[in-house]
Structure 1
Amino acid sequence: MAHLFDPNHVTRLHDPERKSFQDPALLLPLIRPFDRGDSAEIGAGSGYFFFPLAEVLSRRGTCHAVELQPGMVEHFNRELGSKPFRDLVRTVLSEKDRIPLPDGSVEVVWMVNVFHELTHPREIFSEIFRILSPSGQCLVVDWMKEPTPKGPPQEERKSEVDLYDSLIAAGFVKIRSHDLYPYHYVVEALKN
């Protein structure tokens, strides 16, 4: 089984230095415009990416914070606290290879620093494909498979080519990379 981030080390996710190499605001311009619809982060963790994106996307619909680990859900809910958009956020405890959201119910899905933790990436991307609307968009950010000053051990990381293979196998089209972060690749995939 792939190594999952330990919820006991959640303070690392909010290290102020993180913004210098992985600023959530840089991902927002990649999200395709849509008037109304829900969004979801797979592996929302402590909300480092979720909260800045939900602040904008909650104006369009419900933002689903999907998480596998109950300890991370507890931490996320504490962080959600009194945020002004909290009534438009839904925390979702997922199963290992199943995302409990309806077919075609989400306009955009993003996943940050989770791909390298997936035991069955093709199954998860098939689930993401299933929950996306016909015009849905998936954004994946993960650690490059090369030495970096931060991040998991290189042997635990997966390459960008591995990600493309998983997305293609799930049925995604129009897959392309974006150069946003120094230690991470960013890949966008469209359902249609």
Structure 2
Amino acid sequence: MRHTTLLFMSLVTGGMMGCKKPRESAAPVVENSKVAEQVPEQEQVHIHGGHEHHHHGFDDPTKFENQWNAPERDRWQHPEEIIAALALSPGATVADIGAGTGYMVAHLSKAVGDRGTVIAIDAAPAMITYLTNRSADLGPAKIVPQQVSGESPELPDDRVDGAITVNTWHHINERETYAKKVYSGLKRGGKFVVVDSEVDAESGPPKAMRLEAGRVMQDLEAGGFRVVIAHESMPQHYMIVGHKD
């Protein structure tokens, strides 16, 4: 089996079904979001550390931090909608699968507060070192960088209240198996949020690698989740929410 490096911001924007299904109400729509916002040019370059067809080095995360963690990213990634879909409580434990340089880690940290924990999962050793060194800046939550093989989130059973993977799911080879492992790691009532590229988005990963939202829903359903397409207003992404009932 090929190892797939899960690097949150190393994967680009965009991708859903060419013909969108009606979206169920799993997260609130942010009315003031500018749906027509264009993804910055920097995000139109597909970068992935482990995929055999698109190999790039991640030995120096500082080369990417200004792009990946730029405040302007909020305009099109809409992290507030991702956080809302998780419905986290203060003190919760949440996992960011493919944490990269910590863009979503910081947002999750604010959501769970100083009594909460964010498990920052990545397969690249340099990213784990980077996150460890920046953990104080990513607070107020307890930040736990965790290096994984790329084939599993390596979460103990019933450990986390929620999990996300942003711009990463299309790089996982055995997605249904991976979904089962995420399901096992969630507490009852937990949610797994997958954000990935619209298949017809103007920017993002190569179109041959993009997944229709329906395919992602099937992956999560095979993993045991009850699945809905969440309301969101990201210009080039869809958001799937898996519930562990």
One-letter code aligned to 2:146? V
* 1:115 and 2:169 correspond: yes
Secondary structure in 1 matching 2:220: helix
Hey, what does 1:144 align to over in structure 2?
198
* 1:19 and 2:74 correspond: yes
Question: What stretches of structure 2 of length at least 5 have no aligned partner?
Answer: 5-46, 50-55
Hey, what does 1:62 align to over in structure 2?
117
Larger Rg over CA atoms: 2
Conservation of the 8 A alpha-carbon contact between 1:143 and 1:183? yes
CA RMSD of aligned residues (A): 2.2
Hey, what does 1:178 align to over in structure 2?
231
Conservation of the 8 A alpha-carbon contact between 1:58 and 1:89? no
Conservation of the 8 A alpha-carbon contact between 1:38 and 1:64? yes
Hey, what does 2:108 align to over in structure 1?
53
Shift of 1:101: 2.2
Secondary structure in 1 matching 2:103: coil
* 1:44 and 2:130 correspond: no
Hey, what does 1:187 align to over in structure 2?
240
Hey, what does 1:102 align to over in structure 2?
156
**Worse-matched range after superposition: 46-55 or 34-43:** 34-43
Secondary structure in 2 matching 1:49: helix
Length, aligned pairs only: 190
Select the structure with the greater relative contact order (CA < 8 A; seq sep ≥ 6): 2
Moved over 6 A (4+): none
* 1:77 and 2:77 correspond: no
* 1:164 and 2:164 correspond: no
CA deviation map 1:45-82 (0-9, x unaligned): 11111111212214453211111111222232333344
Call closer, same or farther: CA 1:188–1:83 in 2, change over 3 Å: closer
Secondary structure in 1 matching 2:64: helix
Shift of 1:31: 2.2
Identity of aligned residues (%): 23
Question: What stretches of structure 1 of length at least 5 have no aligned partner?
Answer: none
In the superposition, the TM-score normalised over structure 1's length comes to: 0.87
Hey, what does 2:37 align to over in structure 1?
none
One-letter code aligned to 2:178? I
One-letter code aligned to 2:84? P
Which has the larger share of helix? 1
CA deviation map 1:89-131 (0-9, x unaligned): 1111112222222100101101111111111111211111000
Conservation of the 8 A alpha-carbon contact between 2:88 and 2:161? no
* 1:131 and 2:185 correspond: yes
User: CA separation in 2, counterparts of 1:153 and 1:181?
Assistant: 19
